[in-house]
Amino acid sequence: MKKLLFVALLAAGLPAAAQSISPAIPIHDPVLTRQNGTYYLFGTGNGITVWSSPDRQHWTAEPPVFPTPPAWAQRDVPGFKEHMWAPDISYANGQYSLFYSVSTFGKNRSAIGLATNKTLDSKAKDFKWVDHGAVLESVPGRDMWNAIDPNLVRDERGTPWLTFGSFWNGIKLVQLRPDLSGPAEPRQWRTLARRPRNAAFTDSLPGDGAIEGPFIFRHDGYYYLFASFDYCCRGPQSTYKMMVGRARAVTGPYLDEAGTPMEQGGGTLVLQGDADWYGVGHNAVATFDKVDYLVFHGYDAHDRGRPKLRIEPLAWSPTGWPTVAAKH
């Protein structure tokens, strides 16, 4: 459930033309990849925000993925305009696959779409985003889950799986068809993680089980499920933090360091807010030159709680748990 508070260049005090600025760029829900020595950052925003960088320090605003919203999204999700959430980027078989979320804040009438491109270089002759429409949808009256915050993961056999979810009954997983166009048949919706609830909820109300933003990362024989607990998008009142569990199989069960299943509310803390950042969350993990990085946004306590990009090296404890020696 994402609501970008500070993403437009003009709102950041920048001219509309592309700019090179500090790494603390305004963004929500970042995901990072690299092509031919250039880093590409995607995030929540109108048409999906895109930035490029030669060094992860100096960033240039690129055109959004969608100059105008997909017609299917405006038709299928009432109240949706141009604000698209939580993209996920991956590369396989000669093309980049970008999953994205279409929804309205606090509702589970939502959909996850897919767009593909042969290159991320907007100056290349074959640069063109092709939208393939909705991969899966959540519908009130049918689903007690929310089809947002997608992340594609391939298991050790190369089979594609999509994890997603926010609030309601938590984080879900479904196997995809080989072409990623939709769930494989027969469909099986698995719950990987959820939070305890103190209040009643319905398929049209999210309740108070604040969990979202899943990302699965393979490391040393385990699948690690990262998720964000508590509340984003509230500036100084944001309480976001990142939790993790791990499993030998992509389908789980994911256990925290104490052995508690994430499906029963477990999770080991990775990083939380402090005096410099009110909250931190919705992370991805990326590996460059054999170094793993945690990519996420934080609410800057020194700038009125505005959301900004953070990239921190990710280390692994002797027992195999991710740790962050955060630098500010």
CB atoms within 10 A of CB 265: 17
Q: Is 212 a catalytic residue?
A: yes
CA dihedral (64, 68, 69, 70) positive or negative: negative
User: C-alpha angle with apex 286: 117 to 32, nearest 5 degrees?
Assistant: 45
Question: Which residues in 47-77 are b (16+ Cβ under 10 Å) and which e?
Answer: bbbbbbbeebeebebbebbbeebbeebeebb
| DSSP letter (8 states) at residue 184 | P
Residue among 163, 113, 111, 115 at smallest CA distance from 137: 111
> How far is 198 from 209, CA to CA, in rounded Å?
8
Catalytic hit among 62, 203, 212, 256? 212
Residue among 252, 327, 260 at smallest CA distance from 294: 327
Q: Is 263 a catalytic residue?
A: no
The tokens for 278 are 């009110």
Say whether the peptide bond before residue 30 is cis (omega within 30 degrees of 0): no
Catalytic hit among 29, 76, 143, 263? 29
Residues taking part in catalysis: 29, 212
